[in-house]
Amino acid sequence: MSDTKHLNALRVYWHDHKAFPSMAKLAQVLGLASSGGVFKVIGRLVDTGYLERLDGRIAPTRQFFALPVMGSVRAGLPQPADQSAGTEFVGVEDYLIRHPERTVFCRVRGDSMKDAGMNDGDMVVVERNRPTKPGDIVVALVDSEMTMKYLYPLQGSGWVLKPANPDYPDIVAQQSLEVLGVVVGLFRRCD
C-alpha cells in the first residue's frame, strides 16, 4: 500500500471516529502486519506534514484534511482536461474561514434568500464582529428575532433588511436591530 493509500485509510478512519486508533488497531487499518511498518508509515506522514506527534500520540495537521483540486471545470461548453489536476490541495476550512476566532455556521431555514442562491438546509459561514456595508447579507436580531437578509440604509436614518425573494416583505426594526455577523460563504451537500 502506498503512502497515499495509507493516508486515505487514516482519513476514512478519522472521518468515522474523530480519533486515531491504538497502534495494534492502526496496523489493521493500514493493512500492515507489524508495528514496525506502522512506525515507518507514520514517520513518513509526519515528515510530509500530514501528521504530527503530540505528547507521544499522533494527530492530524491541517494538511491532513486538505484534498486535491481536480482542476477547473467550465460550466458551459466542454474544455480540454486540466493536466495539472491533483497538484493543488485545499482544505475547506482554509478556503471558507479567514478568522476562525470570529466565525460560526448557521443553517438556512426557509426560502426568503433563494434568489441569492441560499436554499433551505444550506449552511452559511458567518463572520462576527465584521464591519458591515450596504448590500451585505447579514444574520441579525431584529426585534429579538433572528433572520438573514440583505442590509441597506433607510432614507433618512436606520436600516432595512431586504429578502432575496419577492414573496417576502422588507423588514424594518420596530424596537431593535443587532447585526450578529456578515455572511462570507455558503456550502451545501449535493446528494
Task: Count CA atoms within 13 Å of residue 40 on its CB side.
Answer: 9
Distances (CA, A) of 43 to 3, 40, 109, 134: 11, 5, 46, 52
- The residue with cell 433551505 is 120
Check 22, 25, 34, 112 and give the catalytic one. Answer: 112
- Coil, strand, or helix at residue 146? strand
Check 5, 18, 35, 149 and give the catalytic one. Answer: 149
Q: Is 25 a catalytic residue?
A: no
Q: Is 35 a catalytic residue?
A: no
- The residue with cell 423588514 is 171
Cell of 48: 510530509
**Distance separating alpha carbons of residues 61 and 53, to the nearest angstrom:** 10
Instruction: Show which residues are catalytic.
Output: 112, 149
